[in-house]
A and B are shown apart, each in its own frame.
Chain A
Amino acid sequence: MSRGSDAGLDPLQPLGTLEPLESLEAVPLVARGRREWVQTIIGAWSLRRTKIGLSMFLALFAVAVFGRFVAPYAPTEFVGPPFSLPAPSYWLGTDFLGRDVLTRVLYGGLSVFVLGIAATVIGIVLGVSLGLVSGYARRWADESIMRMLDVVLAFPSIVLAMLFVSILGPRLWLIVLMVGISHMPRIARVTRAATVELVARDFVRAAAAVGVPRRKILLYEVLPNISSPLLVEFGLRLTYSIIMIAALSFIGFGMQPPAADWGLMINENRIAITIQPWAVVAPVVLIGALTISTNLMADGLARAMMGIDRDTAVT
């Protein structure tokens, strides 16, 4: 076969690498928003699912952050008999101790957001670092990192989190860390796959040849080129973080009473779901809406990145 690294003119030159479609005069001198992730975001914004997802997310975020300022009561204030049905003085009824459900819903979102986002960021930072190193180093470093991550992957993430929380006690930083760590293997895999492909490109060799340090190659040559898949991954992982944080609170390993938290509320009030369903339904609907909104955004980003739905009329 004659097709090697030094074959002649490659007839299979991918379309994307061909010369620009615009004439040079038509291209504005000041670079447009050429950063890949910016383009991905612009592309995603043109999809309806992204718009719906983002508006839902922003609305819920507003509720979680600013809701407490319009809450009628304090979150731990007793306002009526336990499990009262909705009434003019408490629109969503009361919970198992007689506290106002609406107030607690308005207070209980912030922890979900803060913990969810923090856990995702931790997962991304850890996963991306390991994935980059693994994809660039290859050989034994690659093997050991990936096999170590396989071990983490082998544990169901909720079990892993429960294990550590039951040993060290329900500390918030621990929950966030454990949720982050449970994301790490999958993010690392995505990063590694993208990195391996990029490292084979000549511009990475070119940087190595002039002696750019490995750390800088990874940060400035490789990372900007994989920003789009990572952005999508962030959206997707955020969904899972929210679900996991809520789940951990629900089984009692997350936020501790008397804190107001959507996950915790579901657990506290589920015994009376037949007589006062609002105390359970309200947080359930909000958590559901939040995960749907983040998922819609992630999906929009993924579609924009992969060019699905994009007008492919050019050439």
Chain B
Amino acid sequence: MSSKQTDIVLSVRDLRIVLDPSGIDIDDDVSFAIHQGEVLGLVGESASGKTTAATSLLAYQRRGAKVAGGHVDIDGADVLSASRMALRRIRGGLISYVPQDASAALNPALRIGDQLMEILNEHSFGSSSADRAARLKQMMAEVLLPSDRAFLRRYPHQLSGGQQQRVAIAMAMANRPKLIVLDEPTTALDVTTQAHVLDTVRDLTRSYGVSALYVTHDLAVVACLADRIAVMYAGRLVEIGRKEELFTGAYHPYTRRLLGAIPDITGERALHGIPGWAPRPGQRVKGCAFTPRCDWRIDKCATEFPPYEGPDSDHQVRCWRWQEVKAQSPAGDAPLRVKVDDVCSTVEKTVVNVQDVTAFYQSKEILHGVGANLCEHRCLALVGESGSGKTTLARCIAGLHQFKITGTIELGGKALARESRGRTRDQRQAIQYIFQSPYSSLNPRKTIRQLLAQPIDIFFKLDRDEREERMVKVLDQVALDASLLNRYPEQLSGGERQRIAIARALAAEPTVLICDEVTSWLDVSVQAAIIELLAQLQLETGVSMLFVTHNLALIRSVAQEVAVMNDGRIVELGLVDAVLEDPQADYTKALLADTPTLPAECRI
């Protein structure tokens, strides 16, 4: 990629965006440029200000935010000072936007053909309506959708999630813009669909020389797509550089830690979380906001934010010690994991035995004769896309499935009742369930003490002191301080809440721990920390674990066995290493190929 000034399509200088009345900064000092035909990945954790920065390129701020300074130039047009009329031409003409959730962004009352035609009409594309109709057909072909009348007459709800996102991309590409802003367009999609959408975006930008800004929280997603990557933390750009350089040796400690937190499907690299969590606007410290979580911090970090520095104009980093960081080669250590030689099959070691289980949702059959074994001291990962029945199976085992189940689920050789109420106290104690969202699994009206007391009071007869002791112990197991006992869940961060949920499960001293997508609501760095914790807990307590996830890359770090599910069936069952290295089922192969991973091995 050349860095001549002439081929710069977008340049952002010193962009500062604040919350309106309070003046708290969401973004500050953001500067970057995008060249002709280049894809820039903008990566950051939640609340890092990446979406706010991205929508500002279109001179749009969500309610309560406003631009407090800076310049955005697209192809010579100053966007931030443009008049309303000029903006109408710029948006959708020079620059366009692909939203996070196409299902919410498309108008549900308009046929997709009409919606696509609207943007062409609005910008008076071509010279006649025949031109526009031809362009419409072409657009649909570009995003690999049929352009027949029947398809164009469909309403958004009649399309799949992937198709909706393609329509949104087609809409963004309609007037052949210079730059397209993609705001996490695949976050709501399954990996397979995500892979297809990413392919489409890549092809379009390559074929038509369109530049793109791809906003995402997941570095692995942009690993194949982007030419350069910009990393944001707490509203500031901390590093921007060529993809290869960033992945092989980033100069900013945060970028390095972030890369270490991305699950590795090859299992060669250990997963490391970053302690703490990213500060939200208003709670950011003076100086470099990463200081409290940084291993490299010096006194200067807490008082002064470092300037943009770097080897050349395409690779810039904002860290006082970037040269020292650069000098140290990235560490890669072996993962902490129990290696096992064989799939467990002996009856005496089986803890949970699932045989021929068929489950219904209302009258619809959603699990079809599923069978699996969970062994002592093992972790079985249950992998599949949404709708594959993995959560249903986990809930059946936990006694949380509301509808009809046939087949048998045994715990230690004894058949379990369908609902947890029908089970004995010992059975309920033995199986503990951790829910997907820590925002909904903890009663907001209870203190952490009350939350932890619930399982303890039900399963054990303890006096006050013993109970308190037990609580402190389980909090210690999940690396939380006992001072949290008097807090309410809303006073904790997402990662801390999930730790509380884990602590609550541990307080019952279970033999089986069911983790249902426990990291899907968390940031990458926090996810890694939770996975580390679970792997360590399994090692220490010897609890059997059922780890439900949609992310194949995660399972190496925590599980020994894996069951791949699709459409309510288990399509492949085996040891993690064997399945990931030599998948047998076609579905597993496809899933593996579609899972984004680092370092990028792009399939083009």
Contacts and interface: CB of A to CB of B under 8 A. Distances in A.
Interface string B97-119: 00011011000000000000000
Interface in B163-220: 184, 187-190, 193, 217
A24 interface: yes
A19 B494 contact: yes
B47 A209 contact: no
B437 A202 contact: yes
Given A21-B282, A202-B440, A211-B428, A3 B103 contact: yes
Given A11-B187, A208-B421, A18 B217 contact: no
B64 A315 contact: yes
Contacts of B551: 8
B428 A315 contact: no
A20 B436 contact: no
Nearest to A3: B188
Interface in B423-466: 423, 425, 428-429, 432-433, 435-437, 439-447, 454-455, 458-459
B491 interface: yes
Given A3-B103, A21-B280, A206-B435, A225 B443 contact: yes
Interface string A1-33: 111111111111100011111111011011100
Contacts of B22: 313-314
B440 A203 contact: yes
Interface string A94-129: 000000000000000000000000000000000000
B595 interface: no
Contact of A225 (B445, B487, B504): B445
B487 A31 contact: yes
B387 interface: yes
Interface in A166-214: 201-203, 205-212
Nearest to A213: B421
Interface residues of A, number: 47
A201 B459 contact: no
A5 B421 CA distance: 23
B101 A12 contact: yes
A205 B433 CA distance: 10
Given A6-B391, A203-B440, A224-B445, A23 B188 contact: no
A29 B447 CA distance: 12
Contacts of A13: 439, 521
B550 interface: yes
B245 interface: no
A7 B188 contact: yes
A4 B387 contact: yes
Interface residues on B, range: 35 or more
Contact of B486 (A10, A29, A203): A29
Nearest to A203: B443
Contacts of B433: 205-206, 209
A9 B437 CA distance: 10
Given A2-B190, A23-B279, A31-B486, A225 B444 contact: yes
Interface string A212-242: 1000000001001100000000000000000
B161 A2 contact: yes
B458 A211 contact: yes
A35 interface: yes
B394 to A, nearest CB: 9
A163 B310 CA distance: 87
A202 B441 contact: yes
B308 interface: no
Contacts of A315: 19, 64, 280-282
Interface of B: 19-22, 46-47, 64, 100-101, 103-104, 160-162, 184, 187-190, 193, 217, 277, 279-283, 385-387, 390-391, 398-400, 420-421, 423, 425, 428-429, 432-433, 435-437, 439-447, 454-455, 458-459, 483, 486-488, 490-494, 504, 508, 516-517, 520-521, 548, 550-551
Closest 10 CB pairs between A and B? Answer: A202-B441, A17-B439, A224-B445, A202-B435, A2-B161, A19-B493, A203-B443, A23-B283, A6-B391, A4-B386
Interface of A: 1-13, 17-24, 26-27, 29-31, 34-36, 201-203, 205-212, 221, 224-225, 312-315
Given A11-B184, A31-B447, A313-B64, 16 more contacts: A2-B160, A2-B190, A3-B103, A8-B187, A9-B217, A10-B521, A20-B493, A201-B440, A203-B440, A206-B435, A210-B428, A210-B458, A211-B458, A224-B446, A313-B20, A315-B281
